[in-house]
Amino acid sequence: MSAAIEPVQRRRSRAVSCGMGFFLMIAGSAVPAYAAQLSAPIAQLYTSVSIYPPTASAMTVCYGFGCRRRQMITFSAADRRALTQILGSGRGSAAAERAAVQRAVVWFDRRLGPLIGTSKRVARADFRARDDQHNFDCWDTTRNTTSLLLVLQDWNLLKHHTVGDPHYRGNVMALQTPHNTAVLVDRANHMEWVVDLWPRGYGEKPDVMPVQKWVKED
């Protein structure tokens, strides 16, 4: 997987917490032509930090909390073969495909770690970690996981699911901290499933569970 580093610092606008982190909102971002195929919530993941959505061959990886650091990566033929093999193991059922998606996210996490230094990342990182060089907040993981899922979908590797809109939770009255996640939608019954990497450390499987369950967790 080749990579070219983009400028890493972004100016700050209004902040929305992620745990105790923040999400950068950039006003006046232009939507690329091919982003018109995306839902408004998914497109907002990219326009809000002034990056392009993924294509079939490349995507921008966000890290450093709120995409203050980013790196453009290009998928090689070997990368595509590896992901195709992983997703191929899950074509038998929707449950098997979700398990394959978990493995694909782990593969991607391990593929990125040596490139951008996130092999040192910790679970549930936010600005209190004081290490924006090696960590993702939940907006970074939501954006990166959604991008990876869109690439898999574009490659026709998702048989039982489509990529859904990201989900948010955060009930201050119940002491539930704000949090966001990527989502898959079951084609057969339209059930939404989160694919949430943020609560897990480097190389660990993301949480995959129904949205209805996820919104009730701490």
Q: What's the predicted TM-score (pTM) here?
A: 0.85
The mean pLDDT of 9-16, rounded to a whole number, is 35
pLDDT in tens, 161-183: 999 999 999 766 665 578 999 99
Task: Look at residue 31 and give its three-state secondary structure.
Answer: coil
Q: Are 17 and 179 in contact, with CB atoms under 8 Å apart?
A: no
For residues 128 and 136, give the distance between their C-alpha atoms in angstroms, rounded to a whole number. Answer: 12
For residues 167 and 183, give the distance between their C-alpha atoms in angstroms, rounded to a whole number. Answer: 7
Per-residue DSSP letters for 60-102? EEEESSTTSEEEEEE--HHHHHHHHHHHHTTTT-HHHHHHHHH
Q: How many CA atoms lie within 13 A of 214 on its CB side?
A: 25
How buried is 183 (Cβ within 10 angstroms: 0-12 exposed, 13-18 middle, 19+ buried)?
buried
The mean pLDDT of 130-142, rounded to a whole number, is 88
pLDDT of residue 132: 75
Amino acid at 194: V
For residues 146 and 139, give the distance between their C-alpha atoms in angstroms, rounded to a whole number. Answer: 10
pLDDT in tens, 26-85: 233 333 444 448 999 999 999 999 999 999 999 999 999 999 999 999 999 999 999 999
Where on the phi/psi map is residue 190: left (φ > 0), alpha (ψ -120 to 50), or beta? left
Q: How far is CA 32 from CA 35, 41, 55, 183, in A?
A: 5, 15, 11, 22
Report the 10 Å Cβ neighbour count for 32: 15
Please report where in the chains the tokens 């009255």 appear, as a residue.
173
For residues 135 and 130, give the distance between their C-alpha atoms in angstroms, rounded to a whole number. Answer: 9
Reported residue count of the chain is: 218
